[in-house]
Amino acid sequence: MNIPDAGVGRPTAVRWRVLGWIVLASIIAYVLRFNLSVAAPAMMHDLGLSETQLGLVLGAFAWSYGLFQAPGGLLGERIGPRRAMTLMFIAWFGTTATMAMVPRGWPVAATVTLLVLLRAAQGAVQAPIFPVTAGSMFAWLPPKTWALSNSLSTAGTTVGAALAGPGITWLVLEVGWRQSFFIAAPLGLLLAAIWWKDYRDDPAEHHGVNRAEVTLIGAERMTTDDTQPPIKWTQLIANRDLVCITLSYFCANYVFYLFFNWFFYYLIEIRHVPATLGGYFTGAQWVLGAIAAVAGGVVCDRLSARLGPRLGCRVTAIGGLIASAPLLVAGTLSTDPVLSVVLLSLSFGCVQFVDGTYWAATMRIAGKQSQSGTGMLNTGGNISGGVGAVLVPVLAGSFGWTIAVASGAVCSLVAAALWFGIRADVSLQSRAVSFPLIAEPVIGPA
């Protein structure tokens, strides 16, 4: 293998360009998945759907997205991120374009069934992105930057949603919800071309990487990688730390999906904010989330360097999750729509603040099996979206939207409590796997 020698004393920076493509993929992923939430009011009126039926459609994405996380991670390990991501991006184009072809005038039951199937397909083909890119980060980036790298990817998702807020709203108002899907769909093909051309599964195989960068990546990976053979999948799902972090992410993502699925609808249908202004409010919420996500990654990396990964990750996550709960309740109780938006957006920012910490901690625990480990994490995190998509409108119908939205506060506090059972400094390969949550001490030296 011919690796360029030029600039041996100074590593090339291709690893950061790879991270840039991962962030771009995160942005486009959320443009293509969030467009339905923004177009939902127009679709409801056009196709004659109720809130509960819309909840079934929205939830279909989360269920399939969650269930295909682990298979997506295994696919990435089997065929490599280059091929897996390219195929996935092409499928994004197909599923988004097909969604726009749902006919008008069908019986409501048939329309809902078709939408559920199409939305589930969209979730399935988007599912591998973050487990597979976690494997890419493991291969391309040093461990001391994992929280920041994952938080930048998280920020990409919020930027994508922020762009979709006003952007898709404008397209829906100007050309209709169907055309907005057709216009967004080719972004998947653009990603496929970029990724296939510029990404390689092994940094040493990239023509732009010199020996110094290969050495830097390899040397720093040695601090977390082991020479032991991979452990079995059954041992992954029995690991105490992975179980705790998956359950915690389930609760934290209930809050995330509360905003993802219902914030725009809540603003214009419940708070009676004009649609265009609601689009900008939604975009502002996601921009705040992006800023908070990056800040959380920086804080986690610095605290982990100072206090160790266990306390660094734990303090960052618990602090953000506890702060989110009262802000969420206050936002729902406020009678001023603008103040409500501010408080709810701050609550969302607190949840995004901790997202990179979840992924960095899981990568530290899973090591070289990060694609499978983060697949397990994101399974729990996204099944909660399927639960919440249906539970929220049911709670709203029975007790009102204040209770429905404030239910996220309980989940946020439970997510924080579960972090006391998570040890980010204990890797899968470093000790025997133990399922019972009380089998080993939670606090203290591993």
Q: What one-character-per-residue DSSP string does 331-345 give? A: HHH-SSHHHHHHHHH
Average of per-residue pLDDT across 337-364: 91
pLDDT at site 221: 53
The predicted structure's pLDDT at residue 192: 96
What is the chain's mean pLDDT, rounded? 83
Q: How far is CA 345 from CA 55, 144, 163, 332, 384, in A?
A: 22, 29, 16, 11, 20
Structural contact between residues 123 and 68, judged by C-beta atoms closer than 8 angstroms: yes
User: Rounded CA gap, 251 and 417, in Å?
Assistant: 10
18: tokens are 């790879």
Nearest to 161 by CA among 251, 261, 250: 261
Distance from chain centroid for Cα 198: 23
Q: Distance between CA atoms of 415 and 246, rounded to whole angstroms? A: 10
Dig out the tokens for 434 from the structure.
């133990």
Give the DSSP letter string of 114-176: HHHHHHHHHHHHHTTHHHHHHHHHHHHS-GGGHHHHHHHHHHHHHHHHHHHHHHHHHHHHHH-
Q: How far apart are CA 328 and CA 174, in angstroms?
A: 33
Asked if residues 373 and 245 have their Cβ atoms less than 8 Å apart, the reply is: no
Query: What is the chain's percent helix, strand, coil content, to nearest 5?
Result: 80, 0, 20
Q: pLDDT for 388-443, tens place per residue?
A: 877 888 888 888 888 888 889 999 999 999 999 899 887 766 654 444 433 333 33
Q: Would you say how long the chain is, in residues?
A: 446
Domains of the chain: 14-225+232-421 (1.20.1250.20)
**pLDDT confidence of residue 434:** 41
Structure tokens given for 415: 């997510």
Mean pLDDT (whole number) for 207-220: 81
- Choose between 402 and 444: higher pLDDT: 402
Which candidate, 122, 166, 150, places its Cα nearest to that of 284? 166
Looking from the CA of 96 toward its CB, the CA atoms found within 13 Å total: 29
Q: Tell whether pTM > 0.85.
A: no
Q: What are the angstrom distances between the C-alpha of 436 and each of 97, 128, 248?
A: 46, 29, 16
- Distance, in Å, from the CA atom of 200 to the CA atom of 356, rounded to the nearest integer, reads 24
pLDDT for the residue numbered 73: 81
Can you tell me the distance from the alpha carbon of 95 to that of 68, in angstroms, rounded to the nearest whole number?
Answer: 16
